[in-house]
Amino acid sequence: MKPVIGIIGNSHLINDEYPAFAAGEMNVRAVADVSDALPLIVPTGAGTVCVQSLMERCDGFLFTGGRPNVHPEEYGEKATEAHGAFDRERDGIALPLIRACVMRGQPILGICRGFQEVNVAMGGTLYPEIRDLPGRDNHRMPPDGTLEEKFALRHKVTFSKDGPFQAMMGAQEVMTNTLHGQGIKTPGTRIVIDGYAPDGTPEAIYIADAPGFTMSVQWHPEWNAGDDPVSRPLFQAFGAACRDWAAGGMRKSA
């Protein structure tokens, strides 16, 4: 039986008027085809789900990207215009779920906003706008062009020598896309930054001494996940960790 991977959804308005919870098709296909798991989109509306129930029914969780940002109140700062839009209901599910999974050893994978959520959940802080920092590049999604152009590879990521990301990828340097505005300011407790962009922006993290899979990336590996030499091993390793969790019977015994 395939492991079940919960994909954390975002609040969304269809045609700017119909409220919905959504997750990108690219995330769903990456989980189904590359992680070889059953994808399950998780709604994040207040009162719709609880952390314990989710952990009993899923073997791992994918914390996806999303246009709204983690609210700065979650890391002790006041909101400004630069912080952009928020999704407080997702904050209310994602952050405690990350902490519970880390403690229990249940696999998690963070992507873009999810990468930032993992840092905040562990007590870290974020810059509201990377491109405004001296010496930093503009990491935001290009405003124009096709999806292929927006998700095109744009910069290198260099991993720590002999670190877990290098071991997973089989290379110390890889090329990635970049479609984010915010980034890590202060790493959270036990957060290990294992990869950087050329301008010093953190791009790959894991949680030290965690009993389970905790790798997260700032880029979007769900794009072309089955064929990309960087995306494929990440989703395969995540799927393997979820299968190991399911095989161990941890979900049933929770």
Q: Which residues are catalytic?
A: 112, 220, 222
- Residue 175: Cβ-neighbour burial (10 angstroms; 0-12, 13-18, 19+): middle
Report d(CA 178, CA 197) in Å as an integer: 10
CB neighbourhood size of 115 (10 A): 25
Q: What pairs with residue 6 in β-bridges? A: 40, 61
Q: What pairs with residue 126 in β-bridges? A: 184
Token couple for 185: 């300011």
For 14, 15, 71, 209, the CA distances from 163, given in Å and listed in that order, are 42, 45, 31, 14
* Nearest partner of 93 among 58, 119, 65, 63, judged by Cα: 63
Contact 226, 232 (CB under 8 A): yes
3-state secondary structure of 21: strand
CB neighbourhood size of 14 (10 A): 9
